[in-house]
């Protein structure tokens, strides 16, 4: 079976090799396993590749580039009109070569694919909506339209989304965003069992340094907590507000208690998670951030914003708190209360480790297979591969 993935994932050329946005590339590598081949129709940027970009790890993947379009400015949005004919042409050209299609939404390229698939009904397909399915008020007209189109079943296939939402039709499936392998979770286990809530209280933020992600809120939280006990914040990430946040750190007079690391490789992110007590993510908009499930596996308690699926999952798993993104006092209070009750903090990190396998790539593949059987009555995925993964999951829980 041949899989075609259509989405806006950014790709670049680095030292003669195609690389792409790391979290998505990892997922695509796993999706290639139960298929004979995979074509990834996505955006190619001529700018230098960011450090976070990764290569594919399998020769099953064939990348088909199209120009990027869309973005926050009016000029970005108007460019969609210019490149739409190229999107439509590339999609129509590659559809006959595929047996199964995944559309990644929201995005301009995904929108074109969704509309075309409204007329091409014979293919097995599914759409992954990676944004905030429950967003209201601030959602763009394009995103609102894509969500409406998907909710009404006009792509004639199942849709996966983060979280569980009232009155969702039967073709909408709740999925956890995969972020770790079972091997990584097993490696993280010892950090959960050995970790103690000792001074200084170690906080961590992992993400792009821009206003929407809440890096400045994290600095305010540090200042609040320093009135009660010693803390240290590790900021892992780069972005347009890097210098601004450094200046803010100086103005708050908390420089000795904050370390700006810039971008760090994923293996080093895991090293920092292994040493942290709490992860802060006061982001204004998210789907389900993969870094939260990674943090849970390493015994880090999430204190995150109450947007999209975050409050649902943290409540279900009893692993952390979801709070209004800009409420510094509530963030500080949540951490302060757990520091006063270390047994409650310990129970949360144990709950986080037990919840981590639901975010594994192995579990993701099995859930996709179940979705295909449920919706289509059959699955296009290699059952040999699916059975191997099932055995790996059973072996993980047997240990």
DSSP line for 26-59: HHHHHHHTTSSEEEEEEEE--SPPPTTEEE-S-T
- Name residues whose C-beta falls within 8 Å of residue 358's C-beta, 6 or more positions apart in sequence: 176
What the block records as the tokens of 243 is 């210098």
Specify burial of residue 369 (Cβ count, 10 A radius: 0-12, 13-18, 19+). Answer: buried
Contact 288, 313 (CB under 8 A): yes
Distance CA 258, CA 235 (A): 7
Q: Single out the residue of 24, 52, 44 nearest to residue 239, CA to CA.
A: 52
Q: List domains and CATH numbers for the chain.
A: 2-178 (3.40.50), 182-357 (3.40.50.2000)
Distance CA 235, CA 204 (A): 6
Tell me what pLDDT residue 55 has: 97
Torsion of CA 159, 161, 166, 168, to 10 degrees: 0
Specify the 3-state DSSP secondary structure of 327: coil
Which residues does residue 322 pair with via DSSP β-bridges, in sequence order? 304
Neighbours of 392 (CB within 10 A): 15
Centroid of chain to Cα 277? 21
Distance CA 110, CA 72 (A): 17
Peptide bond into 350 cis (omega under 30): no
Torsion of CA 260, 266, 267, 273, to 10 degrees: 60
Tell me what pLDDT residue 123 has: 86
Specify the 3-state DSSP secondary structure of 237: coil
Specify the 3-state DSSP secondary structure of 325: coil
Q: Single out the residue of 210, 218, 324 nearest to residue 278, CA to CA.
A: 218
> Would strands 37-44 and 231-236 be described as parallel, antiparallel, or unpaired?
unpaired
Residue 287's φ and ψ, nearest 5 degrees, are -100, -95
Specify the 3-state DSSP secondary structure of 23: helix
Tell me what pLDDT residue 119 has: 84
What the block records as the tokens of 160 is 């996966």
Query: What distances in angstroms separate CA 186 from CA 5, 29, 181, 196, 266, one per listed residue?
Result: 30, 20, 9, 19, 17
The H or E element containing residue 7 is strand 2-14
Distance CA 212, CA 217 (A): 10
Q: Single out the residue of 228, 216, 205, 253 nearest to residue 332, CA to CA.
A: 228
What the block records as the tokens of 59 is 């020769």
Q: Is the dihedral of CA 252, 253, 257, 262 positive or negative?
A: positive
Tell me what pLDDT residue 72 has: 66
The H or E element containing residue 206 is strand 201-206
Crossing angle between the packed helical segments 266-275 and 290-297, to the nearest 10 degrees: 50
Tell me what pLDDT residue 143 has: 86
- Tell the residue number behind the tokens 């579990």, with chain if given: 363
Q: How does pLDDT run along the chain (399 residues), one tens digit per residue? A: 999 999 999 999 999 999 999 999 999 999 999 999 999 999 999 999 998 899 999 999 999 999 998 776 667 767 888 999 999 999 999 999 999 999 999 999 999 999 999 888 778 999 999 888 877 666 788 888 999 999 999 999 999 998 888 788 999 999 999 999 999 999 998 888 888 999 999 999 999 999 889 999 999 999 999 999 999 999 999 999 999 999 999 999 999 999 999 999 988 999 999 999 999 999 987 878 899 999 999 999 999 999 888 999 999 999 999 999 999 999 999 999 999 999 999 999 999 999 999 999 999 999 999 999 999 999 999 999 999 999 999 999 887
Residue 323's φ and ψ, nearest 5 degrees, are -130, 160
């Amino acid at each position: 079976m041949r899989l075609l993935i259509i989405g806006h994932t950014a790709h670049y050329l680095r030292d003669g090799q195609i690389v792409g946005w790391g979290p998505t590339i990892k997922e695509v590598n796993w999706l290639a396993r139960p298929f004979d081949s995979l074509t990834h129709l996505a955006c190619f940027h001529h700018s230098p590749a960011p450090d976070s970009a990764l290569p594919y790890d399998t020769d099953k993947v064939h990348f088909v580039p199209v120009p990027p379009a869309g973005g926050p400015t009016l000029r970005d949005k108007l460019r969609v009109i210019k490149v739409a004919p190229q999107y439509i042409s590339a999609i129509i050209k590659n559809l006959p070569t595929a047996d199964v299609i995944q559309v990644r939404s929201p995005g301009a390229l995904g929108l074109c694919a969704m509309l075309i698939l409204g007329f091409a009904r014979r293919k097995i397909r599914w759409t992954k909506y990676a944004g905030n399915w429950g967003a209201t008020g601030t959602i763009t007209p394009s995103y609102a339209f894509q969500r409406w189109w998907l909710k009404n079943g006009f792509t004639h296939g199942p849709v996966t989304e983060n979280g569980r939402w009232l009155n969702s039709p039967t073709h909408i499936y709740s999925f956890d965003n995969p972020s770790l392998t079972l091997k990584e979770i097993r490696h993280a286990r010892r950090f959960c069992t050995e970790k103690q809530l000792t001074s200084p209280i170690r906080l961590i933020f992992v993400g792009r340094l821009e206003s929407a992600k809440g890096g400045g809120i994290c600095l305010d939280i540090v200042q609040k907590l320093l009135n009660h006990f010693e803390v240290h914040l590790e900021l892992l990430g780069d972005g347009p507000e890097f210098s601004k946040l450094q200046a803010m750190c100086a103005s708050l007079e908390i420089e000795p208690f904050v370390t700006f690391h810039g971008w760090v490789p994923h293996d080093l992110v895991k090293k920092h998670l292994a040493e942290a007590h709490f992860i802060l993510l006061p982001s204004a908009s998210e789907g389900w951030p993969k870094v939260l499930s990674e943090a849970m596996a390493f015994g880090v308690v999430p204190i995150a914003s109450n947007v999209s699926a975050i409050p649902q999952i943290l409540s279900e798993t009893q692993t952390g708190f979801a709070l209004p993104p800009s409420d510094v006092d509530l963030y500080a209070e949540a951490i302060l209360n757990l520091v006063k009750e270390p047994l409650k903090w310990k129970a949360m990190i144990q709950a986080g480790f037990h919840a981590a396998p639901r975010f594994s790539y192995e579990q993701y593949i099995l859930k996709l297979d179940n979705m295909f059987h449920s919706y289509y009555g059959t699955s296009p995925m290699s059952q040999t591969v699916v059975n191997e993964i099932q055995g790996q999951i059973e072996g993980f829980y047997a240990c």
